[in-house]
Structures are given as C-alpha cells and as structure tokens.
Structure 1
Amino acid sequence: MHKIYECVKDFGAKSGLEANPSKCSIFYGGVDESTKDTIRNCLGFPEGNFPIRYLGLPLISKRMSYMDCSSLFVKISGQFQTWLHRKLSYAGRLQVIKSVILGIQIFWISCYILPIKVLRQIDVLCRNFLWGKSDQAFKISLVNWTNVCTDKKLGGLGIFSATQWSIATALRAIWHIHMNKESLWIKWIHENYLKNRDIWHISAKSSDSWMWRQLLKVHLSDLYTALSSTAAKADCFSNRIWNSIMDWLQFKWRSADWHRLLDWYISRLRGKGTTQRIKRLAFSVAIYNIWSERNDRIFKGKVRYIDQLIRKIKVDILTISLNYPLPAEDKQWLLSL
C-alpha cells in the first residue's frame, strides 16, 4: 500500500494533478483492525462508509433499495418542475420525457438493475407530468400508460417505459456476457460465476449477489417473451421450430404458449434423469438459437431457413448431450434419432 501511495504522489509531483486529502477516503474489506491502523497511519486518509456517490450514482455494497434511488426521483421531479411553469402543450411535455428524462433514466438503468418499485415510480412521475397531474391539480389520464408506451406505428406515442427499458438493458448485459465482451466486469463474471460455462445453463445460488440473481431471473422468460411478442409471423416461426424439435425428440406433450411452456419448464422438468436433462437442454438451446437468428436478421441482414435452424438446434443438442456422461442405452437412443 505504501508503494502504491508513493507512485501516486510521484505522479502528482510530475503532472501537477494532486489528490485532495480532504476529499479522500479509504474503504476496507475483510481487514482486521491492526492492519487498518497501519494503513491509516501510512496514508492519513479516514475510513469511508457506504453508500457514497460516484458520477451522480450511489455506490453500495448491498441490494439496492427504494430509498437508495431517492436522488433519482429528486432529479426527475426537479426537471419536471423546471418545465412545468412554461405551460407546455402535450407535445412539448412528450418531448421533455423523451429527451431529458429518458437520458437520466438510461444513465441509471445502464449501471444498475433497479427494483421494480423504482421503475414503476418513474413511470408514475412521467405519466403525471404528461397529463398535467400535480399536487395542485388533479387530471385524469386520457390514455392508458401501456398504450402510450407503444410504438407510434401501432398507435402509441413512442415513450419507453422504464420497466421495459430495464428488461432490454438487462438482456443487453446478458448478451455481452455471452459474447465475453472486453470488459473488466464481464471478465470478473466469467471468472467467479460462469467458470468456463455459458450463461444459459447457470442457476442462481443463495450466496450470489442480488444483481446477478436478477440477471439470471430475467434472461430466460423475458428473452422468450421479447421474441414471441414481436409479431404474429415471429410466433409462427418460433412455434414451428419448437414443435419440430419436440417431434424429433419423440416427446408427446407440447405447447407453443409461453406461459404453459414456462410452467412446464419450472414445475415438471425437475430432477436429474436423462429425459429431464434433455428436455431442459432442448428448451434452452431452442430459445437461444431463435434469439440469435432474430439478431442476425435485424442487425446483419442474414437469414436462415427454418430447416437450417432446426438442424442447427439438433446438432447443438446432440453435441452437448453426447459429451455428457450418459448411460449407454441413452446415448444409443440419442444416436437413433
């Protein structure tokens, strides 16, 4: 620690960028009191306590609570109060929400998975501002908020709901983890949580951080929902793929309804038997490949036929299954498909 501090002072002496001791604190983790005293005497910095603020965001060492986001509400409300006295029209208020408030919202949501209560409160603040409701004036919302947050092509106003934007940001983080993007945080995730496994086959543990558990909770259900709700054509596309995989595996029960599939996955696929493992694997591989195909079509302009995608899913299932220690009769059954 002394050597590091000497390097910092040497850098300050040569560059002129010196740290202000009155604004410096040191934070300890798993350090005994005698070591703390030694470091404190060496550096002369007081011990800091969480939470602290960094770039306008709270840094905390536990699950983020509703109260931790009070500064976010104050900032959004302050922006609304700034514009409220200007007697804006509905179009003007809509533009404030889309430009000013969305920027604040994105800044927070890109760094944290906010509690659902916080996301709903952001939507409440935006809804009240749009329709002119305040402590001094009560006005009824003219249109349901869900419809307001629909795309303009579908009759909405094109506002991004905080709840939906949070899901999209979480899925973006999952995609970066899957692609092992160059990032210190993602490398830490791979080293401590994934350990040479992929994110699609990881289960949350009680000892994991709250943020990581929320990411794992969101990754399967919301990913499939996002895929299945885009259009009726996408529904038909996904259904054909899923039912074809079920036919290939000779499983009689099937459904293309997401809620029934999720209930089937959660309640009926428990256990360590080979059949249960393969069903869980088929479900995960199918969803991942449908998502990957959707991304290729939207962002790369690449299109594969349904038969090609089904063949890819089959190969993935066989590759993973046959490299797993299975009984000889189960391997024989897989090879016979």
Structure 2
Amino acid sequence: MKRDKAPSPDGFSLEFYKDAWSVVKDFVIRAFQHFFQTGNMPKFINSTTLTLIPKKINLTNVCFVDDLCILSATNVKYISSVKKVLYYFGEIIGLKLNLKKSLVCFVGIEDEDHLNITLGIIKASLPIKYLGIPLNTKQLNSRYCRSLIDKINAKIGCWGARQLSYAERLNLQQSVIFGMYNFWCRKVFLLSFVIKKINDILINFFWHGKSEGKGKTKVSWKDMNSPKKEGGLGLKDVVEWSNACMARHLLNICVDKDTLWIRWINTYRLKGVSVWRVQKRSIDTNTWSKLLNLSPFIRPNV
C-alpha cells in the first residue's frame, strides 16, 4: 500500500501510522488483542464521520419530511398573521414556505377567492393528503386507500426479480411492508376491502414471491399469524393490529392525554361523560362509532 493511501474512505493513511506509530501503537495493539480475545469488534471501528458539503451558495432548504397542518379562522386578519408567522419562521430557521407545494382548504366560506389571493397558496378541496394519508370529513373509500396498496405492490415489484428465500421474504414482511401499513393503522380504520387486499398480497409474496396471482399454500395464513411459541411465524394479523392501533386512542382519551384532538373529543363528544359510558348516536361519525365498538373489549383490561 502506498504511503498516501488509506484502507477505507474515512480512514488514516499509511503514512500517518508510520510517522505516529510511537503514539498510536499501544491503542492499535490493544484493539487487535481485544478482538482476538473476545471476538467482538470495538464500537469505534464501525464509527464514521460524515461531512456534508453544500453544493450551492446560501442554501435555505432542507430535505426531510415535516409536513405542517395549520388551522386558522378564515378572515383577512388571521390569514395575514399566519402568512407573516411563516415568513419570519423561514427567516429565522431557514425553512421557507414553498408556495408551489402548499395547499389551502376553505370550509364553509363564501369569499374564498379573496382570502386565497391574500394567502397566495393553491386552493384545494377535501380530501387532501397529509403525511401520505387522505384527510376527509367522510369515511375513506377504497379509491382513497388505493395509494397504500399501490405502494406495497411497487415495493414487492422491486423484489420480484430476486430469488428470495422464505426467511428473506418473512423478514421483509415483518419490517418494510409492516411499516407501510402500520403507519395507516395508527391513523385511520382500514376498510375491510383494504385489509383483505393486504392479506392477499402478503400471502402471495411469502409463498410465491409476487404480489398477485393464485397458488397453493402449505400452511393457513391464520396459523402463520400465530405466535412463535405456538408454532406460528409471529406475523401480525392486519385486522387485529388495526383494532389494536385504534384502541390506543381510547386509552389516550382515558388518561386524558394532552392533545388537541382529545381536548376536542372531551368538549364535543364526551361532555363530561366517561369514554366507557358514552352512548353511540346516529349522528356519530363512522370512525367514532368504530372506536366506541372497541370499548367492551378494552375496558376489562384497563
């Protein structure tokens, strides 16, 4: 190896070790002895120092997922205040509002055009997407949930050309695909159609390596979802997992977690009544009714 070369992209050159050997010798020898005696690599061996070098002058944009949803009264005074706050926020922090990627929705407002001119943001109507999930005042139908199915199919399509073993497919299901539908389960009740479609995709991918098609399965999907100590693979049943995720909202209401949604629920839904005793009404939303349907199953375990 040449004196000015290093064994790795972020390592020291050979010349450094030769010139500073009297200083670093004991540390290097102890590191090698530790490995041969214990079989464990010291943590600092795998440490990496990253230096981010800007490719442009005066960078103001940072690429990360940080969608922001702002609720405001719909008059010129409040709209102007929101716009001013966002401007000063961008000047101080450096994250400036991108008007081309922003949307504004007006609900029950007659003078929408005038307010929209004041704000200068693209006008949209519900449903819109926030953090990848459609926002709507009504129950989500299969059309709005199609994006979740498409994302799972696209991800499996990337793996389809590879000859993956059952263990590799299982690992991908438990990590990547689970993470995709788990995010939705924590926010909304998945429709039965969507749950069935996800189950079909998971079954086909595990047994046949693709998201669609029909073929024989050696073990029932219900048995595969059983815990490992019962002979299953420990996969999570999508229906049960969806209910478990939504049940968390009931527990958060029960402990009076300090969030805007729970304060709204206490004011307009519960009105001083315990969440375990409140009665369903015909005017309740579909999501609230489903949450109350879970109460008899959650209450005995609280």
Q: TM-score, normalised by structure 2?
A: 0.69
How far apart, in 1, do the equivalents of 2:189 and 2:125 lie? 22
Superposition CA RMSD, Å: 2.0
Question: Which residue does 2:273 correspond to in 1?
Answer: 197
More off after superposition, 144-153 vs 20-29: 20-29
Gaps (5+ residues) in structure 2? Answer: 1-78
Please report how far the alpha carbon of residue 3 of structure 1 lies from its aligned counterpart in structure 2 after TM superposition: 2.8
Q: Deviations over 1:276-326 (max 9, x none)?
A: xxxxxxxxxxxx3x413xxxxxxxxxxxxxxxxxxxxxxxxxxxxxxxxxx
Q: Deviations over 1:109-153 (max 9, x none)?
A: 011111122112111110111111758864201111111100011
Amino acid at match of 1:291: N
Q: Secondary structure at the match of 2:123?
A: coil
Please report how far the alpha carbon of residue 168 of structure 1 lies from its aligned counterpart in structure 2 after TM superposition: 1.0
Kindly name which structure, 1 or 2, has the bigger radius of gyration based on alpha carbons. 2
Q: Is the 8 A contact 1:133 1:139 kept in 2?
A: no
Question: Which residue does 2:11 correspond to in 1?
Answer: none
How far apart, in 2, do the equivalents of 1:105 and 1:65 lie? 16
Question: Which residue does 1:208 correspond to in 2?
Answer: 284
Q: Deviations over 1:157-176 (max 9, x none)?
A: 11001111011112222111
How far apart, in 2, do the equivalents of 1:92 and 1:10 lie? 49
In the alignment, does 2:185 pair up with 1:99? no
**Higher percent of residues as helix:** 1
Q: Is the 8 A contact 1:9 1:18 kept in 2?
A: yes
Runs of 4+ in 1 over 4 A off after TM superposition: 133-138
Gaps (5+ residues) in structure 1? Answer: 224-287, 293-337
In the alignment, does 2:217 pair up with 1:115? no
Question: Which residue does 2:138 correspond to in 1?
Answer: 62
Please report how far the alpha carbon of residue 2 of structure 1 lies from its aligned counterpart in structure 2 after TM superposition: 2.0
Q: Is the 8 A contact 2:134 2:144 kept in 1?
A: yes
Query: Equivalent of 1:4, from 64, 79, 82?
Result: 82
Question: Which residue does 1:264 correspond to in 2?
Answer: none
In the alignment, does 2:241 pair up with 1:165? yes
Question: Which residue does 1:23 correspond to in 2?
Answer: 101
Amino acid at match of 1:131: W
How far apart, in 2, do the equivalents of 1:84 and 1:153 lie? 31
Amino acid at match of 2:127: P
Does the C-alpha gap of structure 1 residues 147 and 42 become closer, same or farther in structure 2, counting only changes over 3 Å?
A: same
Percent pairwise identity: 31
Q: Secondary structure at the match of 1:47?
A: strand
Q: Deviations over 1:4-40 (max 9, x none)?
A: 32333333344443222222332111112xx323312
Question: Which residue does 1:49 correspond to in 2?
Answer: 125
Amino acid at match of 2:218: L
Question: Which residue does 1:131 correspond to in 2?
Answer: 207
Question: Which residue does 1:291 correspond to in 2?
Answer: 301
How far apart, in 1, do the equivalents of 2:244 and 2:260 lie? 21
Count of residue correspondences: 224
How far apart, in 1, do the equivalents of 2:212 and 2:128 lie? 35
Q: Secondary structure at the match of 2:124?
A: coil
How far apart, in 1, do the equivalents of 2:180 and 2:189 lie? 14
Does the C-alpha gap of structure 1 residues 50 and 132 become closer, same or farther in structure 2, counting only changes over 3 Å?
A: same
Question: Which residue does 1:236 correspond to in 2?
Answer: none
